[in-house]
Amino acid sequence: MKFAQYYLDCLSHASYLIGDETTGRAVVADPRRDVDEYLRDAAEAGLTIELVLETHFHADFLSGHLELAAATGAEIGYSSVAATEFDVRSFADGERYSLGEVELEIRHTPGHTPESMSIVVWEHTGDAEPYGVLTGDTLFIGDVGRPDLLASIGFTRDELADQLYDSLHGKLLTLPDSTRVFPAHGAGSACGKNLSTETSSTMGEQRANNYALLAPNRKTFIDLVAEGQPPAPEYFVFDAILNRKERALLDESAVPNALELADFDALVADGAVIVDGRDPEEFAQGHLAGSINVGLKGRYAEFAGSVVETDADIVLVVGDGFETEAKNRLARIGFDRVLGYLVHPLIVMAEHPERVRRASRLTVPQFEDRRRDLPDLQIVDIRNPGEFAIGSIPGAEPIPVGQLPGRLVELDPDAPTVVYCAGGYRSSVAASLLRQRGFSDVSDVLGGYGAWVELRQSA
């Protein structure tokens, strides 16, 4: 058996290639949208991808089932509960799919979503115990899938949590302790609240250590998994719906349009959003007025999707050579309306200093001076609720960065404002958004809450 996990750190997303080397037949599960890596690895192993399996309609990324099907002629497979605009092979609960010696068993495991399924992998037909199970977003390492993401499209949190309990106890916990567990996400994903940095485990380890599986009864389980979930980025519902639809395919080799300044300005005048992918430190030294800073070295797509509208046109400012990467990473969450990139942005800024703005980034001592000197200082904690609950700076208003665009009315755009996160990446995103929306005096804190705590402890 050929079994490969592909882990994408910037989205905390895992996908899988499973092949039978005796027959050359293979399946890919939960693929990302830029699919060349699967195609290359399958070809090198002498495998033909004949099926693309989706464990559910993903909300945190736009899946690559259509791209893989177009590239290989493979069928697309979903649970028989799923309804799509494109042709699929529907898998019943308990159905098996043979690749030769390698066999896959489908188990319907609703709860995170109604159509969720898990894929039990048998290395050889007739083995006493399975090799592993792909659990999608039903079971994570250290956590389970959150049941509240579909509340806005007709499913209640408690209804799905109830189904999740049954799926875990009736379908997954029946597997032997030795069964390897391969989820679709790891730490950092907003699809759960306690995901481990480990990308695989065993059923025995999860049975013994996963807080949700240790709940003594159904009610306790529902209360536990419903409490303290991080805010979902705004694009989640957009992706959950788009993953059901027929849509345009991504050409990951295509370079976005190169824009001279006049063309760039015309697009911005028509409403395009400037997304500057440089590091926060470089952005702070100088950027074009009106830019939103989402650094490519961080969780670029996730935070762009948190602060940019799903129907917005986008123009890019990135370092030379990073234009296609930026376009493809936005495409991973379905943000396809990238109209182009500004050619040689550093030269443009050098030649047009009147267009350039600097961003105020405060050290913790500078921030403390502002707190003391400005009684009307507006402090915004843009971390998630779980982070805020552990500790915060006195007087801070908690507004997670993913909720900031919809909660700007709660803030005074004329008041001096300081935003902070855990370390400084998210706060640069949030501060640049506030400036873009007309806030007149905005700073963020270098090192964030961690640096503030460290200074207080050393005092």
Q: What is the pLDDT of residues 34-76, one digit of tens each?
A: 999 999 999 999 999 999 999 999 999 999 999 999 999 999 9
Question: Tens of pLDDT along 317-350?
Answer: 999 999 999 999 999 999 999 999 999 999 999 9
Cβ(128)–Cβ(22) under 8 Å?
Answer: no
Question: One of 421, 429, 431, 434 is an active-site residue; which one?
Answer: 421
**Residue 118 and residue 133 in contact, taking contact as beta carbons nearer than 8 Å:** yes
State the average pLDDT over residues 7-21.
96
Is-contact 316 327, C-beta < 8 A? Answer: yes
| pLDDT in the model for residue 193 | 78
| pLDDT range class, residue 153, cuts 50, 70, 90 | low
Q: What is the pLDDT of residues 371-405, one digit of tens each?
A: 999 999 999 999 998 899 999 999 999 999 999 99
Overall average pLDDT of the 292-316 stretch: 96
**151 pLDDT tier (thresholds 50, 70, 90):** low
Q: Is the pLDDT of residue 427 over 70?
A: yes
Question: Distance between the two ends of the chain, CA-based, in angstroms?
Answer: 58
- pTM, entire model: 0.94
> Which of 2, 27, 46, 23 is closest to 100 using CA atoms?
23
pLDDT at 228: 75
- Mean pLDDT estimate for the chain: 95
290: left (phi over 0), alpha (psi -120 to 50) or beta: left
User: Could you give all domains of the chain from N- to C-terminal order, each with its CATH number?
Assistant: 2-242 (3.60.15.10), 258-357 (3.40.250.10), 361-458 (3.40.250.10)
Model confidence pLDDT, tens digit, residues 243-299? 999 999 999 999 999 999 999 999 999 999 999 999 999 999 999 999 999 999 999
Q: Which residue has the higher pLDDT, 227 or 430?
A: 430
pLDDT, tens only, 158-211? 889 999 999 999 999 999 999 999 999 998 887 777 789 999 999 999 999 999
421 has catalytic annotation? yes
pLDDT confidence of residue 154: 67
Say what the alpha-carbon torsion angle 449, 451, 452, 454 is, to the nearest 10 degrees: 120
318 compared with 155, residue with greater pLDDT:
318
